[in-house]
Amino acid sequence: MNRLKLYLDENKENELHPSEIANILRDLNEKSFSDAIQLIPKDIIGDIALILPDRYFGEIIESLDIKELGKAISELESDDQTDFMQELQEHNEQVASDVFETLDKEDQIDIIRLQNYDEDHAGSYMQTEVFTAVKNEVVKDVVSRFAKLKKSNELENVHTLFITSKEKTLRYSIGLEDLLIFDFSKTLHENIKESNESFEPITARDTDDISAVVHAFEEYDLSVMPIINNKNMLLGRITSDDIYDIISEQATEQMYHLAGVDDEAEEDEEVLRVGKKRASWLGLNLLTAILASLVIGLFSDTLESIVALAILMPIVASMGGNAGTQTLTVVVRQLALGDISQNDATRIIKKELAISLLNGILFAIIIGIIASYWFDNGILLGIVIALSMLINLIMAGFFGATIPLLLKKMDVDPAIGSTVILTTVTDIVGFFSFLGLATIILL
C-alpha cells in the first residue's frame, strides 16, 4: 500500500503506467487491495483491470460504483472496451447493463459491433479508432489534423495513415515517417504517384480467422494491419500489441491442452470446478493405464518366470513416452506457427521416423549392453530389450508425428488429447513388444 502511494506521488506530473501499478497491486492482501483501488485515477483503472489476472476483476468491480466504471471503460480503446464489458457481463449482468447505459452512444455502437463477431474472427480483435484521410487531401492539412487529434488524446498508438476514397474504401496505407517526407503543399494522391514506393496495404477481412492474421503479422513483420469488409471498406485496425497478446494466449492454451488441462477453467478460483475439469482427463488417463495393464496381464506367466522383466519393463515404456512427447511437442508447435503446410505430412513423418530410428539404435545398444551385464542369461535378455527399445522408439516417433497431423486434418486442435493417445500407444507397444519378444526368445 505504501509502495503504491509512493509511486503515485512520484509520478504526479508524468503519465502513470498501468503495468507498474498492476505489479504493485498483485502484492497486496484483500483489504489493502480494495483500499488501493480508491487511490488509483479512474482513467487508467480499466487498463489495470485488463492487465491483472481474471481473479482480481471481481474485486476491482466491487470497489467502484457505476459512474466510476463507466469512466474507466470510456478511457479504453474500442477493443479493450469490448473485452472489459464482456468480463463485466460474465461477472454481473445487471451492473454491466447499468454501466453500458452510462457510455457514449458511439462507444455503445462500437462495443455491440465488436461483440457480434465470433471470437476467432479478426473483427473481434480490431480497434475501430483509426487515423484516415481521403486521397485528395493536402498533406499539410492532414498533418495539422493529426497534431490536433494527438494533442486532445483522441488518438493513441498511431503510426500509420490509412487513405480511403470518399466512400470509405481503403486505397493506401502510409507510415507517418513516410508522410513527413512528402511534399506538404501537394495532395496525398500526387505524392503517392510521384513516389517510387508501393503503399498498397496488406489487409484482412473482418471475418478472417485470427490465426491467419497472426501469421501475416509474423510473415510480413507488420506493426499494424487494416481490417476491411467484403466491400473493401475500412472498419478498423489490429496492432502488434494485440497480436503479442493473442500469441501469448495461444501458447498458454496449447501448453495447457498438451497437459490435459482446460486453460479457461484454470483461471477460475473455484477449486471444485477446476478439480472436475482435471478429473475428466485423469479419468481418461486411468482408462488408458488399465489398457496397458491388460496387455501386461496377457504375459503374467512370462513375468512370473523371469523377474528381471518386471525390473526392465518400465524403461521401455518410459523411453517411448519421452521420445514420443518430444516429437509431439515439435509437430504441434510447428502446426500452431503455420510452419507445416498441408502437403508436408509425408516429409514430417519421414524426418521423425529417421530421428527415431537413429535414437532407437543408439539406446537399444546401450540398454542391451547394460541388461547383458546386469542379469543372468543376460545376452538374450539384452537382445529382447534392445529390440523392444528400437520398436517402441520408432513407433513413438511415427505416432508422435501422425496423431497431431491427423487431428489437424479433422479440424480438431492438435494439442487436445494428443498426449493421452500417444501415451496409450507407447505404453501398449512398449509392453507388448518387450513381453512378447521375451516370451518368444527366453521361454
39-67: b (≥16 Cβ within 10 Å) or e? ebebebbbbbbbebebebbeebbebbeee
| Alpha carbon distance, N-terminus to C-terminus of the chain | 74
Residue 414 included in any domain: yes
- What average pLDDT does this structure show over 277-297? 80
One-letter amino acid of 382: G
Q: What SS3 class is residue 374?
A: helix
The pLDDT, as a whole number, for residue 89 is: 93
Alpha helices in 139-270 (DSSP H): 139-151, 176-179, 188-194, 210-220, 240-258, 263-266
Secondary structure tally for the chain: helices H, strands E: 21, 6
Q: Choose among 382, 389, 395: nearest CA to 441.
A: 382
The pLDDT, as a whole number, for residue 259 is: 66
pLDDT in tens, 326-365: 999 888 888 877 777 767 888 889 999 999 999 999 999 9
- Strands 204-205 and 170-175, by their bridges, are unpaired
Q: Is the distance from CB of 388 to CB of 316 less than 8 angstroms?
A: yes
- What average pLDDT does this structure show over 61-81? 91
The pLDDT, as a whole number, for residue 437 is: 92
Average pLDDT, the chain: 86
Same-domain status, 52 and 105:
yes
- The one-character DSSP state at 202 is P
pLDDT in tens, 44-62: 898 988 888 888 888 888 8
Contacts for 39-45 with beta carbons within 8 Å, 24 or more apart? 39/4, 39/5, 39/8, 40/4, 40/8, 41/16, 42/68, 42/71, 42/72, 42/75, 43/71, 43/72, 43/75, 44/16, 44/18, 44/75, 45/72
**pLDDT(5) > 80:** no
Distance of CA 393 to the CA centre of its chain: 30
Q: Choose among 42, 127, 49: nearest CA to 91.
A: 49
pLDDT-derived band at 22, boundaries 50, 70, 90:
confident
Same-domain status, 314 and 378:
yes
Within 8 A by CB and 6+ apart from 166, the residues are: 134
- Count of domains for the chain: 3
Same-domain status, 139 and 100:
no
pLDDT-derived band at 268, boundaries 50, 70, 90:
low
Q: Choose among 330, 327, 308: nearest CA to 442.
A: 308
**pLDDT(308) > 80:** yes
Q: 373 lies in which domain range?
A: 263-442
324 or 282, greater pLDDT: 324
Instruction: Work out the percent of the chain whose per-residue pLDDT is above 90.
Output: 40
Same-domain status, 177 and 306:
no
The pLDDT, as a whole number, for residue 263 is: 60
Residue 413 included in any domain: yes
Same-domain status, 138 and 230:
yes
Assign residue 100 the CATH number of its domain. 1.25.60.10
Q: Is the distance from CB of 421 to CB of 400 less than 8 angstroms?
A: no
Rounded-to-integer distance, Cα 228 and Cα 207, Å? 9
- Which residue is it, cell 485488463? 50
pLDDT in tens, 80-136: 999 999 999 988 999 999 999 999 999 999 999 999 999 899 999 999 999 999 989
Same-domain status, 288 and 236:
no
pLDDT in tens, 171-220: 999 998 888 899 999 999 999 999 888 899 999 999 999 989 998 998 88
Same-domain status, 16 and 45:
yes
Specify the pTM. Answer: 0.74
Same-domain status, 299 and 394:
yes
pLDDT in tens, 371-417: 998 887 678 999 999 999 999 999 999 999 999 898 888 888 787 77
The pLDDT, as a whole number, for residue 270 is: 66
Same-domain status, 295 and 403:
yes
